[in-house]
Amino acid sequence: MSDNLSLVILAGNIGKQYEWQKQIDPIGPNKETLLEYSIFDALEIGIRHFVFIINQDFGLETKKYFQHIIDKNFSQVEFILQTTYTAVPRSIYDSIENRKQPWGTGHALLIAKSHLSNPFIVIDADHLYGKTTFYKAKELFVEGKILPNRYGLITYYLENTIEKHNYVTRGLCTINKDYLVHIKKFNNIHFNDNEEIISDEINDDLIFDSQASTSINFWIFHPSIFRFLEDKFSQFLKKDSSELESTFSLYSVINNMIKENQLEVIVRKTNERCSGIYNREDKQYLIERIRDLIEMDIYPKMLWK
């Protein structure tokens, strides 16, 4: 049944701190990228259709590299270029000519509409989500939980998404009886000297619950999401297209739709650790983490044979 489940990879964000295409930086013992471990996990649960949302710096050789990996595993891959002009009306071209950044994750997913006719998982390219996370997503799909107007989200415990050296942005979830109520983003979340989790952008006295449910953009959607995205993106452009720093995020769309009782999101929690690559210091940590996972037989030493 999971042959009908696709994986959408949001691979177009170049981190300002990292300064280049962190999604294709070698991490594994045979120069595998972080993203390849997610592709490996997706193949293991039966996914055979992959959609990459990329930017103009995602070069031809990189495309060929991932195309070769996925072809070799008897699967299909498509690459979709996200630009500031993709899926926007010509009438606003003049007002966005000075815009430097893409429109955001909501727009990135929207432009994949014509490529997806079955339920699909959405992930970021720069995270190591963990094997059991993919299996939990598959369970939601196989159990028939993913329907028009009912989607899925796999959440992590907050403490499992932060390394001791990092300052990160996280979406903290309010959940009621296994359904998402709201996601609120906090910036500069980190461990203080007492190993408590705090954020620099709010009162230092506020300590986050280390077990708080946290979204790292691991969604399971039904294609009905595109109707909502189209409506909300149209509203967003009418209101905010002239604001050059404004973004159209999946978080905001989902929050608004839940508030308006137009959809619901069922949540499954995972005990996995989710590690991301945000700056140069993260690379060595991730190299060591992959090495540990290989020693634990979670991944083979050579992903592709």
Q: Does residue 170 lie in a domain region?
A: no
Q: Which domain holds residue 123?
A: 2-155+213-295
Domains in the chain, number: 1
Average pLDDT, the chain: 91
Q: What is the DSSP string of 87-147?
A: T--GGGTGGGTT--S---HHHHHHTTGGG--S-EEEEETTEE--HHHHHHHHHHHHTT--B
Return the percentage of the chain with pLDDT > 90, whole number.
Answer: 73
Q: What is the pLDDT of residues 49-86, one digit of tens each?
A: 999 999 888 889 889 999 999 999 999 999 999 999 99
**For residue 111, pLDDT beyond 50:** yes
Q: Does residue 77 lie in a domain region?
A: yes
Distance CA 119, CA 255 (A): 20
Q: What is the pLDDT of residue 210?
A: 96
Give the containing element (helix H, strand E) for 238: helix 225-240
Closest to 12 (Cα-Cα) out of 24, 2, 4, 3:
24
**For residue 19, pLDDT beyond 60:** no
**For residue 95, pLDDT beyond 90:** no
pTM for the model stands at: 0.94
- Greater pLDDT, 206 or 208: 208
Q: Does residue 112 lie in a domain region?
A: yes
Q: What is the pLDDT of residue 17?
A: 52
How confident is residue 101, by pLDDT bands cut at 50, 70 and 90?
Answer: confident
How confident is residue 204, by pLDDT bands cut at 50, 70 and 90?
Answer: low
The whole-number average pLDDT for the span 222-245 is: 92
Q: Does residue 83 lie in a domain region?
A: yes
Return the percentage of the chain with pLDDT > 70, whole number.
Answer: 94
Q: What is the pLDDT of residues 147-170, one digit of tens each?
A: 999 999 999 999 999 988 788 999
Q: What is the CATH number of the domain that holds 80?
A: 3.90.550.10
Q: Does residue 304 lie in a domain region?
A: no
Give the containing element (helix H, strand E) for 225: helix 225-240
Q: Does residue 250 lie in a domain region?
A: yes
The crossing angle, in degrees rounded to 10, of helices 34-44 and 131-142 is 40
A 10 A CB-CB count for 35 gives 25
The whole-number average pLDDT for the span 244-257 is: 92
Q: What is the pLDDT of residue 200?
A: 80
Q: Does residue 102 lie in a domain region?
A: yes
Q: Does residue 74 lie in a domain region?
A: yes
